[in-house]
Amino acid sequence: MLALLIDRIFGDPHWLWGYIPHPIVFFGQMISWFDTFSNRSDFSLKRRYLYGWLVIAALLGSAVGIGWLLTKIYCSCWPIVNLFLEAVTVSFFLTQKSLTDHVMTVCKALEEGGIEQGRSAVSMIVGRDTQMLDASGVCRAAIESLAENSSDGIIAPIFWYVISGLPGLLGYKMLNTADSMIGHKNERYAAFGFASARLDDIANYIPARLTGILIVLVSLFTNGNDAAKRAWRVMLYDAGHHHSPNSGWPESAFAGALNIRLSGPRYYGTKRLDEPFQNIEGKEPETFDIRRAVRLFESVMNNIAIFTLILYILYVSF
């Protein structure tokens, strides 16, 4: 709860990362080093596939080891200092404030600067080709990013921290970073990044579905009974149609709760991906719906914090 509060209020301390690299940047540097030396084009696909498993094992072992070492160091401090240091560390790996800031930047750019500025802003948070997006497409991309990252950037890290402390949290973030960098289905990474992509799918299996359920439950109180029923129905029907085994759950829940149409065909460079729509009967999203999505997201985060506080009080009491 304290980590969520720190991240909600302060977000990333950019002044600090001017002196030392952000942990995710450090993870990325490690991944890039292994990519350079273990994923050479003159290696056979079989060799690159094997190296992919060995590399992700080494990366996960390093991250878990760092988490274990930090835990030992923090536990040697006074309890209140231990609590503070661990909460601050956890907050570094959450993306609550930065996510809403980026999404609202898209909303304001579209409202104040028009379609070109909206496309430019949303290109900072999505990987698709944004130059072909209309206003609804820009809004759709922003809300999809918010939905997907509510799982990858917050619920999943919290889940793995609750399960196994800092070692689990750092291990998950290393895996998720590796998936975003090398877990692509292209000529360069299909073999080398296979292990990272599959392990990331496994690590996000429960958190993604948990995120979808949380969105449905919270929408009952924020958007009403009809919205919650629709979110549940759309999630159960459309989540499995998404190309990702996990991303469809929070996306479809958002689509149903807000009664908007998400996903659908998009371009990555010159390649068209014919993604089915989530909640095809919903309306085309507008900037107003980005604001609604952010409010729903913040309500989910608030309820997680309250639930965590209740669990902590019960734990201390008994």
CA-wise closest residue to 94 among 156, 147, 148: 156
Q: What is the pLDDT of residue 140?
A: 96
H/E element, 273: strand 271-273
What's the CA gap between 232 and 145, in Å, rounded? 20
In a domain, 32, yes or no: no
* Beta carbons of 3 and 90 less than 8 angstroms apart: yes
Which structural domain range is residue 101 located in? 2-7+43-317
In a domain, 166, yes or no: yes
Cα angle: 195, vertex 238, 215; to 5 degrees: 85
* 18 within some domain: no
Residue 13 lies in a domain: no
Tens digits of per-residue pLDDT, 240-251? Answer: 999 899 999 999
- Residue 82 counted as domain residue: yes
Phi-psi region of 282 (alpha: psi -120 to 50; beta: other; left: phi over 0): beta
What does the pLDDT average to over 29-50? 96
pLDDT tens string 189-230: 999 999 999 999 999 999 999 999 999 999 999 999 999 999
Dump pLDDT digits (tens) for 57-86: 999 999 999 999 999 999 999 999 999 999
**Using CB atoms within 10 A of its CB, is residue 267 exposed (0-12), middle (13-18) or buried (19+)?**
middle
Q: What is the pLDDT of residue 97?
A: 92
Question: How many domains is the chain partitioned into structurally?
Answer: 1
Q: Is residue 34 one of the residues assigned to a domain?
A: no
What is the average pLDDT score of the chain?
Answer: 93
Q: What is the pLDDT of residue 314?
A: 76
| Arithmetic mean of pLDDT, 301-318 | 79
Summarised one tens digit per residue, pLDDT across range 116-174 is 999 999 999 998 888 889 999 999 999 999 999 999 999 999 999 999 999 999 999 99
Q: What is the pLDDT of residue 315?
A: 67
Alpha-helical (H) ranges within the chain are: 2-10, 14-17, 23-38, 45-75, 79-92, 96-113, 115-122, 135-150, 156-182, 194-203, 205-222, 225-238, 248-258, 287-317
Residue 265: closest CA among 247, 283, 286, 243? 243
Q: Which of 79-88, 93-102, 303-312 has the lowest mean pLDDT?
A: 303-312
In a domain, 202, yes or no: yes
Residue 19 lies in a domain: no
Q: Model's pTM, two decimal places? A: 0.93
